[in-house]
């Protein structure tokens, strides 16, 4: 089933500038594997050497963080949307 995946700006070099791509898969893991098959080099940017999503990368399935609903085994269905969101750190403390 085709799933829409929103691509953050830092990863768009791998998707030839596309801010959204359509990928098939039944789980987040399958989506990531198929993203890599279609956009070589994206997996190493979002997953560590063990294939787990990097700590500073967040995956949302319809606005819900997949870490709280099944992580890589989270099922996806037709019409779902996945957003890849790099964590942002830094800033200044205001006193």
Reported in sequence order, the residue ranges of 14-80 that DSSP labels E, i.e. its strands, are: 20-24, 57-61, 64-65
**Per-residue pLDDT reduced to its tens digit, 30-45:** 999 999 999 999 999 9
Report the pLDDT averaged over residues 14-37: 96
Overall number of domains in the chain? 1
Residue 16 lies in a domain: yes
Query: pLDDT band for position 19 (50/70/90)?
Result: very high
Res 82: pLDDT: 97
Res 87: pLDDT: 83
pLDDT exceeds 70 at position 54: yes
Residue 92 lies in a domain: no
Q: Which residues sit opposite 20 in a β-bridge?
A: 6
For position 45, which CATH number holds? 3.10.20.30
User: What is the rounded (10 degree) CA torsion for 67, 68, 71, 74?
Assistant: -140
- How many other CB atoms sit within 10 Å of the CB of residue 35? 24
Res 88: pLDDT: 72
**What does pLDDT average to over the chain?**
92
Residue 68 lies in a domain: yes
Domain range enclosing 28: 2-86
pLDDT exceeds 60 at position 66: yes
């Amino acid at each position: 089933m085709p799933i829409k995946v929103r691509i953050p700006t830092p990863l768009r070099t791998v998707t030839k500038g596309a801010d959204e791509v359509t990928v098939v898969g039944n789980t987040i893991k399958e989506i990531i594997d198929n993203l890599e098959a279609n956009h070589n080099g994206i997996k190493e940017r979002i997953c560590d050497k063990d294939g787990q999503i990097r700590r500073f990368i967040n995956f949302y399935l319809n606005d819900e963080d997949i870490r709280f609903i099944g992580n890589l085994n989270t099922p996806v269905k037709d019409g779902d949307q996945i957003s890849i969101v790099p964590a942002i750190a830094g800033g200044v403390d205001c006193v």
